[in-house]
Structure 1
């Protein structure tokens, strides 16, 4: 084997070992979340309550407005798919804010590991456990309420993939909110505002179809429908074109949000260094 090939394999091995650190973070977070079954039970109960409340709300709206072409069964499955992802997303913004306020961030920055990647993979482990646990509850409860949803197995696989991407996208935005701790003492108000925009423009509280056309246009140019309503509505009208649009739109928004996150974090570190924090 030539020297060039040896150096190349050493470089590949080094990259694998470097990424293996983040896989270990993911593994620890996944196992910790899996053992914390009490949290899953609590989230499941909250999920069931939300499903009942919003399904009744949307059923009333469908009667009052006569603009929703969905029956009660479709409404409950729509609400279930929305709530499933929404409740499963971990609040990584609070973790980042805690690290900043307690000074733990300064300690973590000296370690040979990327802080943002560490937070991401830690949140990803929790997200996947929550999606699995809450997904089982969502499927069982909704099926008991309104019956089985007659769609192909491939469609279910697509819904699961889109749910994971939606959770990742929302988690990255929560990381951006957490990074705002560099400039804000408390980022909770910013998270509150973000969630209200998500509920309104994502189609959680009210269906986007009853919004004025200009609000629908604004919502479609935002990531909110991808996280909630736009993704969940595929269960009623599944087609390859719309699925592809949502899938690639999610990837684009994940890339854009990641670049903004890295830029904000570097800007925050620069300000922290200048101020001597």
Structure 2
């Protein structure tokens, strides 16, 4: 009986999160104009990078740079830009909840605060990523040409899922700092700059100086967009297990940090009277 009760309770909680995800998806489709503007911005960014890399390869007079061809670089950017533009601003949401006091009502809901935001975040990111990917693919086929992904494309959903999860966890660590500093957007700004550079969003890590490459490979930023994009455009079966393992390790490490910061923040909120 106890086991049946536990299963029923777990099923009830799972259903709640499913409905949260459905509501988030419905809200995304409710703001079609805003949704399309963000997607069209992706096309503008890709067109700018297209001109930049065309000039770079023409100036170098070579077919490949650091092992990447022009097509691979452009399709790499389609993946990274699609993922970055699909990621919601978590810090803004949590910061507003803390300032307005709405976070107190989130705590009394029959759902976990972090998991609630994770379901919202992933639901929103998933639909944005799909739309961005479709638009980016159309532009790529028209301007760049047919890609040669091989088996890398088959692994993109899994590695992108891990990348989005790590991005959520890192953003949640920053967002929970709102318990102490309230203003977390500055932290988010700095974090995004790390993601753009040594995180491999603007270009693959192989194009950086050796010292900076080593720094990037010891940090979690590479797991968010660099590994998904590289796996897609330059698939190496021998490195697949290592890439996924790296992502899982960082998910565990950062997940523990989120748990500790969240528990400390809730304690602080209770001590201060909410």
TM-score, length basis structure 2: 0.91
Contact 1:55 1:72 in 2 (8 A): no
Distance in 2 (CA, whole Å) between partners of 1:274 and 1:186 is: 20
Contact 2:204 2:230 in 1 (8 A): no
1:75: which partner in 2?
A: 73
TM-score, length basis structure 1: 0.90
1:87: which partner in 2?
A: 85
How many equivalent residue pairs?
Answer: 271
Are 1:203 and 2:200 matched, yes or no? yes
**Offset at 1:229?**
2.5
Are 1:215 and 2:215 matched, yes or no? no
Q: Deviations over 1:200-242 (max 9, x none)?
A: 1012334422333221111001122221223312234312221
> Structure 1, unaligned stretches of length 5 or more?
1-5
CA RMSD of aligned residues (A): 1.9
Contact 1:40 1:133 in 2 (8 A): no
**Offset at 1:62?**
4.5
Q: Deviations over 1:174-209 (max 9, x none)?
A: 121111101112101000000111111012334422
2:271: which partner in 1?
A: 274
Moved more, 196-205 or 58-67: 58-67
Distance in 2 (CA, whole Å) between partners of 1:231 and 1:63 is: 27
1:11: which partner in 2?
A: 6
Distance 1:57-1:202 versus aligned 2 partners, 3 A rule: farther
Distance in 1 (CA, whole Å) between partners of 2:54 and 2:177 is: 39
> Structure 2, unaligned stretches of length 5 or more?
none
Distance in 2 (CA, whole Å) between partners of 1:157 and 1:31 is: 28
Q: Deviations over 1:102-138 (max 9, x none)?
A: 0000122122221111111111111111111111111
